[in-house]
Amino acid sequence: MKGMMAVCKRELKGYFITPVAYVFLVIFLFFSAYLTFKGQFFEARQADLRVFFEWMPLLFVFMVPAAAMRLWSEERRSGSIELLLTLPITVWQAVLGKFVAAWIFLGIALGLTFPMPLTAAYLGNPDGGLIAAGYLASFLMAGAYLAVGCFFSALSKNQVISFILAVVGCAVLVSLGLSTTQNFMASFLPNGLVSALEGLSFQVHFDSMQRGVIEFADISYFVVLIVGWVGACGIMLQERKAA
């Protein structure tokens, strides 16, 4: 545990000693506000954050891989991964430490959107439970996107390649829950398989939670996805260390 916390603190500090974190936060906050108020926020004449949360899956497709691409790609490119893995910590402590630090960073980014619920509260009387559920769903979904990005970051030394692969992977997992994708798949796949693929989508489970329906199945989906992709990242690095 101490090894994981040491890596986590090192990685989290690394975000804020460079302009990377501040550029990311500014871009994320700008687009989250722009997409919300550009949408039907005022036209709906209802004080809630429905529009804000509806844009999260698409916004995360690009923003989270951008935060994740440096996790392992930079370590491999600079050669510091060899030094990191020779420290008195295990590969799994390093993987979990980096992942937790990045997830905390994304949590900070979400937390800085607090003017959004304050705006909704000023304009009306929003349902606090729905807003809390939306933030919980967004945080879990950010962790799932991050786990995918963590895996692809370990896959390549090139940050751009890691970013593109993570964007494609996350986009596929989102699009499986879209009606247009389901209609297309239904034209050549059995209905049972289409339903099974739909159940693998970020979008379906996120939509369920951000509507205020907190079910064990939805939380389990994100937890299993995070464990699976982070585990795959750890196995890959473990094999590379052994080689």
**How confident is the model over 122-145, as a mean pLDDT?**
90
d(CA 199, CA 218): 10
For residue 39, pLDDT beyond 70: no
What's the pLDDT score for residue 197? 83
d(CA 159, CA 228): 22
What's the pLDDT score for residue 92? 86
What's the pLDDT score for residue 167? 94
Q: What is the mean pLDDT of the chain?
A: 85
The pLDDT tens digits of the residues spanning 188-203 come to: 778 888 788 888 888 8
Distance of CA 168 to the CA centre of its chain: 13
Q: Extract the tokens encoding 37.
A: 């108020």
What's the pLDDT score for residue 214? 85
What's the pLDDT score for residue 37? 80
Percent of the chain with pLDDT over 70: 91
**How confident is the model over 36-50, as a mean pLDDT?**
70
What's the pLDDT score for residue 17? 85
Element (H, E) at 190: none
What's the pLDDT score for residue 127? 83
The pLDDT tens digits of the residues spanning 82-112 come to: 666 666 778 888 889 999 999 999 999 999 9
Domain containing 121 equals 2-242
The pLDDT tens digits of the residues spanning 142-186 come to: 999 999 999 999 888 888 999 999 999 999 988 887 778 877 787
What's the pLDDT score for residue 2? 76
For residue 137, pLDDT beyond 60: yes
Q: Is the pTM of this model over 0.85?
A: yes
Print burial letters for 136-164: b (CB count within 10 Å at least 16), e (below 16): ebbebbbbbbbbbbbbbbbbbbebeebbe
Name the domain count of the chain.
Answer: 1
